A and B are shown apart, each in its own frame.
Chain A
Amino acid sequence: MWSLAHIANEIHQWLNNTFNPTWTLIIEMVLAGVAVIGLFAALGLVLVLMERRVAAWIQIRLGPNRVGPLGLLQSMADTLKLIVKEGLTPDGADKVMFNIAPFIAMIVAMLLMAPIAFAKDFQLWDLNIGVLYVTAVSSIMVISILMAGWSSNNKYSLMGAMRSGAQIVSYELSAGLSIMTIIVLTGSLQVSDIIQAQSNGWWIFKGHLPVWISFIIFIIAVTAETNRAPFDLAEAESELTAGFHTEYSGMKFALFFLAEYINVFIVCAIGATLFLGGWMPLHFGSNNAFNNAMDYIPSSVWFFGKTFFLIFLIMWFRWTFPRLRIDQLLNLEWKYLLPISMFNLLLATAMAILGWHF
């Protein structure tokens, strides 16, 4: 059968037969790195174009439609433009930190790729604390933003970075608590276990009210964590002139831009894994004909379909809602999302203990 796991196995066996185990491991690591970077490049191109198209259609415009057929080459042209631009470092900036910050943003995004299951049995690293690892590593992102804001030696950048720090620190709480709901129901932090637990129905279907609430809170919290509108106070182009990346240009700017989209992809992939069953096809009870038909769709298509649905949801938010003020933002987190998600976690725990889900 044709699948990503099958291809990976073939490559692994061929390498094992050709080289000794050490070299096999090294070559596989390099291949995985190249694959991740390739995925990043592809995602960057696709998501930027998708964002612009979604934005245009929501705002009753046409969007990019001049470069290439249907404007499909627009993001290629933009990338080319950014590559040939000069990567300027301001005179007053802290040169080392200024130049490292975008790479830290990218490295965080790359690290987050490790525990994501892209298809059935196709995962870089199925570690037993996968979800904890994701929540822990994703908070390193704020360091790159703070570094960029501080080292730019620009008041707007610093302000944007501080806002972003306050925002990410507060919203991590409710994101974590909403993820906890699923962990309580599954009883495992391992990504493959969480997906396996949804083989007879995704959590959003079998979890009832607590999972719906935690799904809504998760989506709100990750929108805030990835610094996207309506929570884009860190950038806030109209008041802070792009905040922490005001001073960045050329490829360094592109890396920040790319990291934003990669982060959106990752949080949506996590959301799809936790709530929508990852690569698990849609199954309804014992309706075997329907279940078999769903099984024919490759698992990678299921995963990317769900992820892109969530990405569309987040883009839809961005182009519908106006930006929050910083006090409204923190109000929303500390007075609404956090108490609700704590209560919700209690409810989910009771449900898991009493076995009310099926």
Chain B
Amino acid sequence: MFLTDYIKDVTGALKSLATGMKRTLYYFTHHKEIITEQYPDNRATLVMADRFKGEVVMPHDEKNEHRCTGCTACELACPNGTIKVVTKFDITPEGKKKKAIDKLVYHLELCTMCNLCVQACPSDAIKMAQTFEHSVFDRSKLTKILNNPGSKIMEGVE
């Protein structure tokens, strides 16, 4: 029947509009739902989302030791040449040569935070940090060396 369909159409439309308006009225009257972060003001209490990725860092323990073996898996995994691993050869106490990193160069200005290097790392040497205030006045300051000066590889990490 045409007329019943027509009336059903109109009432259905009004009902669905009312549903939408009910939701927006709820948000209008419930200000505690507001999700705005007033960023520079709340810097002290800022809570970052778990999945936020800000930059690649290499954690060091208190003895200034990292877990990087210099395998260059991260360099190979990186889609846009952000990471360069510069290796050197250490002499072990037994007199054997052992590969280790000299510098792990990280170009923050090229990085897209894709997380592939962190996934590729076999020894969990690098991870994503949640820092995000990366603005600097000189581009060269964005090229970082991730391993601390004088740092060594941790015992037992192969």
A contact residues vs B (CB 8 Å cutoff)? 54, 57-62, 216, 316-317, 319-321, 336, 340
Known: A57-B28, A60-B35. A340 touches B17 (CB 8 A): no
Complex: A75 Cα to B97 Cα, angstroms? 72
Q: How far is the CB of A201 from chain B (nearest CB, A)?
A: 25
Q: How far is the CB of B71 from chain A (nearest CB, A)?
A: 47
Q: Which residues of B contact A340 (CB under 8 A)?
A: 10
Known: A60-B34, A62-B36, A340-B10. A321 touches B17 (CB 8 A): yes
Q: A60-B33, A62-B38, A316-B25 are in contact. List 14 more A-B contacts (CB 8 A).
A: A57-B31, A57-B34, A58-B24, A58-B28, A60-B27, A60-B34, A61-B35, A61-B36, A316-B28, A320-B17, A320-B20, A321-B20, A336-B9, A336-B10
B157 at the interface (CB under 8 A from A): no
Q: Which residues of B contact A336 (CB under 8 A)?
A: 9-10
Interface size on B, residues (CB 8 A): 17
Q: How far is the CB of B45 from chain A (nearest CB, A)?
A: 16
Contact with A along B4-16 (1 / 0, CB 8 A): 0000011000100
A-B contact pairs, 9 of them (CB 8 A): A59-B27, A60-B36, A316-B21, A316-B24, A317-B21, A319-B24, A320-B23, A320-B24, A321-B20
Q: Which residues of B contact A58 (CB under 8 A)?
A: 24, 27-28
Q: How far is the CB of A279 from chain B (nearest CB, A)?
A: 27
> Nearest CB to that of A65 among chain B residues?
B38
Complex: A355 Cα to B36 Cα, angstroms? 55
Complex: A347 Cα to B74 Cα, angstroms? 77
Q: Which residues of A contact B25 (CB under 8 A)?
A: 316
Q: How far is the CB of A320 from chain B (nearest CB, A)?
A: 4
B contact residues vs A (CB 8 Å cutoff)? 9-10, 14, 17, 20-21, 23-25, 27-28, 31, 33-36, 38
Complex: A340 Cα to B24 Cα, angstroms? 28
Complex: A317 Cα to B18 Cα, angstroms? 10
> Nearest CB to that of B38 among chain A residues?
A62
Complex: A58 Cα to B33 Cα, angstroms? 10
From B21, B34, B36, give the contact of A320 (CB < 8 A): B21
Complex: A321 Cα to B10 Cα, angstroms? 16
Which of A58, A319, A321, A336 has the most chain B CB atoms inside 10 A of its CB?
A: A58
> Nearest CB to that of B13 among chain A residues?
A336
Complex: A55 Cα to B31 Cα, angstroms? 13
Complex: A320 Cα to B23 Cα, angstroms? 9
Complex: A321 Cα to B34 Cα, angstroms? 20
> Nearest CB to that of B23 among chain A residues?
A320
For the complex of A and B, list the 7 residue pairs with the smallest distance between their C-beta atoms, beginning with the closest.
A320-B24, A58-B24, A62-B36, A57-B28, A320-B20, A58-B28, A61-B36
From B17, B21, B27, B38, give the contact of A57 (CB < 8 A): B27
Complex: A216 Cα to B31 Cα, angstroms? 29
Instruction: Check B34 against A61 for contact (C-beta < 8 Å).
Output: yes
Q: Which residues of A contact B17 (CB under 8 A)?
A: 320-321
Q: How far is the CB of A333 from chain B (nearest CB, A)?
A: 14
Instruction: Check B10 against A62 for contact (C-beta < 8 Å).
Output: no
Complex: A252 Cα to B134 Cα, angstroms? 41
Complex: A320 Cα to B22 Cα, angstroms? 9
Q: Which residues of A contact B38 (CB under 8 A)?
A: 62
Complex: A61 Cα to B14 Cα, angstroms? 27
Complex: A167 Cα to B17 Cα, angstroms? 21
Complex: A57 Cα to B24 Cα, angstroms? 9
Complex: A27 Cα to B31 Cα, angstroms? 49
Which of B24, B27, B28 has the most chain A CB atoms inside 10 A of its CB?
A: B28
Q: How far is the CB of A163 from chain B (nearest CB, A)?
A: 22
